[in-house]
Structure 1
């Protein structure tokens, strides 16, 4: 099944390049200039890397352009968990990917009590305060005499949060607004990369809808010897997804299919905290027994929050939080996945109708949304192992899985 490579437009290539470079800068702990879709300009730095020198650089660069003091931006879910917001942002105010945006700007002075035992009173935004409010795995409590600002959609702050999500960092960012008219001057003076908020918003969907086949190889598996792996990647060089094609399924007939999000701990290490490894191997065995089908192995670790953030969520689960609330406390949605990559891959392989092995109704609705017909749901259930009973119960009760 060969695929013709879809050409990538010069505009998309330029936009993707700037977003990828911005992601790389943030992961290195560097400053980035964001030109927001709302016409505002923000200096930004990933919150988890905002130590004292980093905050000083943000202040210095902002001052050069007549900008304001640094503020911390988190999702509404994180603000609720930190005790700074009473309830989630209304959908009409929500930023892309479902996250409401909350700006926390403690002003210097005696009214800022700071986090307990942190000694930050009167210093505005400090490294200890940033890490405490951004990272739920850090012990402590913050008492601030401020009212968090909720930014309505669209906002530069929302685009900044989406950018750090793409970087697989904590969904929290230190920002300082500078006058838009002076943003280019400040960026040039400090040798900063500039990225447009509109490009950040368009980046993920653009990559997922332009996935193309890179290579195909025969890889006999323990439970399915007649197997080929087909690797897909977006033209801009983004993340890779795999199709595990078993046998020779007929594209004219609904194909038996499983959408499986990668799970390093479950798939590779055999973790008992989840049922991912059992689901992956069970799907391969069942498809082989049926004669043919496909497993799509999607690069969406931890419901698409990344391995490091999944481990942060595990820390919270160790303290008694369930798997859904743990993701919310870290600052993400309960499930950050989109199944546009799966639909793109299926259609590229010639499959437009599937018999889907799943317990997750969201997969059914999303595939239908992206143009793949689901003619049947095939239950895919495995017994609890003694360690994942609460995990399975939470998936059923809070995520609506049909177990």
Structure 2
């Protein structure tokens, strides 16, 4: 076997093709997607400006009309309720109209909605992986019309998440003393969800021969770093680490899942909608998202690589419990993790309890309220 073959030079893996496509979409450029016999050009709707519209209009268009693919929650917001994603024909690349259909609060569908096909669903999956707005411009096209375009298949997209979880590996580790928890080790994994690395914070010296205290903590820039009053994430992060340090140690997994897996840009868009009266889940739905886009199975693989097979899970979220159980870990106990209630986060906490089944006791919360 040659040197190039050993290193995979010139023969990129399926994951590499998808990663290249994600980079293109995040940069506002289209990618070529093949699904069965259909080839389409995919562009995120948020990238359609006047220049892009002019370029797309210059294409031959012999493969059929272009369409805007939207997920079910967004179509419901537009007055066309349905259980699955659908598409609306785009007879012209009108950037203002596309923006209204993708983001407008008062917009309504003024055209028939077709069922989303396999290429459409794969396009939405790509946008979800790229953490951009879930609204895809899909244009049937011949490959020779877009020479040099990054190409990917629907099958490669479908396999990507599983491959990322299976390929998780430790790429760095070091002791990092924290305030209130001086004995900590940070272990960095590559793979999993999101677009960055994942971090396991080992607090103290947990005994992996026994059930280990564990928290799955999704990254929250606004709460964890800046102390946002709109959520309880920062409190949950710091209180859990302090509790582990005071007891028998534990492991906190800091996961790249900002905004329930929607990405920081969409999270801030949702915050703006919340300021207009939406609750946290209705705001996400108005943008086209379901209740929660996160997956936690890869977190179980991180724990297994750290020697953990049984956990005492610090969480209020039943989805995390079920995900670890499905992945083969033994969840022997649950420990609630409460932050401080504020005027700004009470509605958010109530929505998590009432709409997503989080175990949040408001009497206990009231006892934590600042004087």
Shared fold (TM-score, shorter chain, > 0.5): yes
Find the counterpart in structure 1 of residue 315 from structure 2: 358
SS at match of 2:357: coil
Alpha-carbon distance in 1 for matches of 2:135, 2:192: 29
Preserved contact between residue 62 and residue 176 of structure 1 (Cα < 8 Å): no
Alpha-carbon distance in 2 for matches of 1:158, 1:101: 7
Alpha-carbon distance in 1 for matches of 2:282, 2:194: 33
Alpha-carbon distance in 1 for matches of 2:11, 2:239: 39
Select the residue among 28, 35, 46 that pairs with 2:44: 46
Distance 1:235 1:48, change over 3 A: closer
Alpha-carbon distance in 2 for matches of 1:8, 1:400: 47
Find the counterpart in structure 1 of residue 114 from structure 2: 149
SS at match of 2:304: helix
- Note the 1:358-397 alignment, pairs <5 A: 358-397=315-354
How far the C-alpha of 1:56 sits from its partner, in A, is 2.8
Find the counterpart in structure 2 of residue 16 from structure 1: 15
Preserved contact between residue 187 and residue 194 of structure 1 (Cα < 8 Å): no
Runs ≥4 in structure 1, deviation > 6 angstroms? 7-12
Point out which structure has higher relative CO (alpha carbons under 8 A, 6+ apart).
Answer: 1
Preserved contact between residue 161 and residue 193 of structure 2 (Cα < 8 Å): no
In the alignment, does 2:219 pair up with 1:262? yes
Alpha-carbon distance in 2 for matches of 1:279, 1:265: 13
How far the C-alpha of 1:58 sits from its partner, in A, is 2.3
Preserved contact between residue 86 and residue 113 of structure 2 (Cα < 8 Å): yes
How far the C-alpha of 1:287 sits from its partner, in A, is 0.5
SS at match of 2:146: helix
Find the counterpart in structure 1 of residue 184 from structure 2: 227
SS at match of 2:13: helix
Find the counterpart in structure 2 of residue 161 from structure 1: 124
Find the counterpart in structure 2 of residue 296 from structure 1: 253
How far the C-alpha of 1:86 sits from its partner, in A, is 2.1
Preserved contact between residue 212 and residue 235 of structure 1 (Cα < 8 Å): no
Preserved contact between residue 281 and residue 291 of structure 2 (Cα < 8 Å): yes
Q: What is the CA deviation profile of residues 336-392 of structure 1, one whole-angstrom value per residue up to 9, with x for unaligned ones?
A: 000022101000000011000011111110001111110111111233122100000
Find the counterpart in structure 1 of residue 59 from structure 2: 61
Give the TM-score normalised by the residue count of structure 2.
0.90
SS at match of 1:61: coil
SS at match of 1:398: helix
Select the residue among 166, 170, 173 that pairs with 1:216: 173
Find the counterpart in structure 2 of residue 130 from structure 1: 98
Alpha-carbon distance in 2 for matches of 1:374, 1:134: 40
Preserved contact between residue 192 and residue 198 of structure 2 (Cα < 8 Å): no
> Over aligned residue pairs, what C-alpha RMSD do you find?
2.2
How far the C-alpha of 1:257 sits from its partner, in A, is 0.6
Q: What is the CA deviation profile of residues 247-286 of structure 1, one whole-angstrom value per residue up to 9, with x for unaligned ones?
A: 1111110001111000000000000000000000010011
| Count of residues in correspondence between the two structures | 355
SS at match of 2:320: helix
Alpha-carbon distance in 1 for matches of 2:297, 2:81: 33
Find the counterpart in structure 2 of residue 96 from structure 1: none
- In structure 1, the gaps of 5 or more residues are 1-6, 90-99, 108-123
Give the TM-score normalised by the residue count of structure 1.
0.84
Preserved contact between residue 8 and residue 235 of structure 1 (Cα < 8 Å): no
In the alignment, does 2:167 pair up with 1:171? no
SS at match of 1:29: coil
